[in-house]
Amino acid sequence: MNLLGTIHSPADLKALPPADLPQVCAEIRHAICDQVSKSGGHLAPNLGVVELTVAMHYVFDFSYDRLLFDVGHQCYTHKLLTGRLPLLPRLRQRGGMSGFPEPRESKYDLFTVGHAGTAIPTAVGMARGDSLNGEGWTSDQPNGRRTVSLIGDASIVNGVAMEGLNNAGTLKRQFLIILNDNGMSIAKPQGAVSAYFDRLRLSHTYGEFKKRAKEMAKRMPGGESLKDLYHRMGESSKAFIAENHWFEHFGLVTVGPIDGHDLPTLIDFLNEAKHFDHPMVLHVKTIKGKGYEFAENDACTFHSPSAFKIETLENEGCKVEMKKGGRSFTAAFGDILTSLMERDPKVVACTAAMPDGTGVNKVIDKFPTRVWDSGICESHAFDMMAGLAKTGWKPFFALYSTFLQRAFDQAFQEGALQGLPVRLCLDRAGLVGGDGAVHHGFCDIALLSVLPKACIMAAMDESSLRACIEFMNEYSEGISSVRYPRDSVSARFEDVPCPPFEMGRARQLVGHNNPDAAILSFGVCAIDAAEALAILSNDHMQSDGSENEREYAVELYDARFAKPIDCDLLCRLLGNGIPVITVEDHSIRGGFGAAVLEACNSLGLDTRLVTRMALPDRWIYQGERKEQLAEAGIDGASIARTIRALLDGQSVAAASPAVVSTM
């Protein structure tokens, strides 16, 4: 009998006898692996928390109690238990199940979550709010709401998580932090805290515990006796209270580690934690990729794989073949950085827990004394790079665009204000596809453009990325950045020589003697704009070989720089009355097009001739990247429609949702 198909809510799970839960876990694992093999998604993190999530929903009532996820990519089991099994076949696709907690989908998801470190602080806030509302659970209020925060994949080392821990210990009510310790983040976890968990040893005797009770009680909020706390805990927890655990210093009673795949033990401990009215950490050891040998043995590759095929071969066991796409910008960047570091011994590099996702994995082993993975702490990583710049090195910090804002204060204070040349390589810029709104890189230009002497660039293909990195290596006036998408590099212009980057100078891709209009594209949007011109050219030719009356002569430029803007080009185009269309995969607010308008205003140019195409001022959710580009109205077809409307004197606003025209 299929049990998973009978579970439409956690109430159905609770109705099952404990003996049926292992079968539920096995069916969940199969469902997740089967779907991720078809659509891609976060595999190993979700396989590792199946038993833990089943146990949490078996013990707590999260239709009333609070469950907060950290990072969020470990939520698939939670979603399948809360009525979203029908959405699984379209995982990370339009109309399907988001790969992260999503309140639009279900009341069981409290926050849209995609960045690390947030679960404990938001849980503290909800616990305080419930208490202020008279709804927080304590032993004196047994009908109150309980709060559970699940944190894992090494995000406990994130600075925001630390700040949350510091406040969690001051709560005077039930508050449970479950530390999912799988010995991994996306890559091997980094830093002293991670090393501490690897070395952790526990006391298993009541006698040893009592020796430390008085000392530890002095550090507990309100001076409550730890001995009293100990006696209020269940028998199974007593033997596992941690000796000299790191969390004690935050005022948190710590239990564990326990086996995160042992359902009866998990249920016992969670039942005790459920009735414990003091902040507690339950340390759970799990195996990332649990249940599938290929995922357990290579949790980095199967953290978030693309679609793959599993074959069982006679005498060879299980073979997994990943579906291959084109050469990615990430792979190109890794090779370019490797070449640069071989030629320039002053270049150093860093990433924040994303060595594979940024391509830095290609240089970590080759240059172990010049490359670092700082763990999930972008703020620290930027400051470390600033310190290296101050001592004469050439630092390149590779990170996802969506995580840049976590280091903006450091970019301002320790980078730009000091005039230090920290070089930012922003992967996953623009629309990211299946990860959806939590991971779109839509605001990096807006953030960095306010910083004096910041040099902001974008790459349209591999050769332009190489030229940009070479330029950044020599730029020493301040922060520099280059953005590129989670996509394959285009070969459209691979046979055209790529000139070096020159400060504030655009590159012409398509020219005309007497242009009707000009497109200034930023980054990979040049490829979509070139497609638009091809569409217009094809439309001009009839099927019988004859020509339409209307032919559009449109120039195309790769702008290269959002700061500084190519003012000479603007003066030449707008000064001659040539309409300009800007195209970018960044927010319409504060992006490249906005910088063009500001430059035109300063130069006294007619801004009515400028039409901007960019990401609209609303959220775009999960789906294929090409679908998102179409929804945003910045794909080739949308650009072509906008050009037609503009040059035919029609409304450009009707042509694309991303158009803002000043004409």
Residues with a known catalytic role: 288, 378, 406
How many other C-beta atoms lie within 10 A of the C-beta of residue 175?
A: 31
Rounded alpha-carbon distances, angstroms, from residue 4 to 88, 108, 542, 548: 12, 18, 56, 60
**Mapping DSSP to helix (H, G, I), strand (E, B) and coil, where does residue 175 land?**
strand
From the number of C-beta atoms within 10 Å of its C-beta (0-12, 13-18, 19+), residue 363 rates as: buried
CA dist., res. 227 & res. 219, Å (int): 13
**Mapping DSSP to helix (H, G, I), strand (E, B) and coil, where does residue 158 land?**
coil
Give me 250's structure tokens: 């935050």
CA dist., res. 600 & res. 594, Å (int): 10
Contacts of residues 242-246 at CB distance under 8 Å and 24 or more positions apart, as own/partner, are 242/200, 242/202, 242/203, 242/283, 243/201, 243/202, 243/203, 243/208, 243/209, 243/212, 244/212, 245/200, 245/281, 245/283, 246/193, 246/196
CA dist., res. 477 & res. 141, Å (int): 61
- Angle in degrees, CA 298, 301, 302, rounded to 5: 80
Residue in the block written with tokens 């006036």: 477
Helix axes 525-540, 636-647, angle to 10 degrees: 60
Strand partners, 281: 177, 254
- Angle in degrees, CA 23, 28, 33, rounded to 5: 130
CA dist., res. 602 & res. 372, Å (int): 42
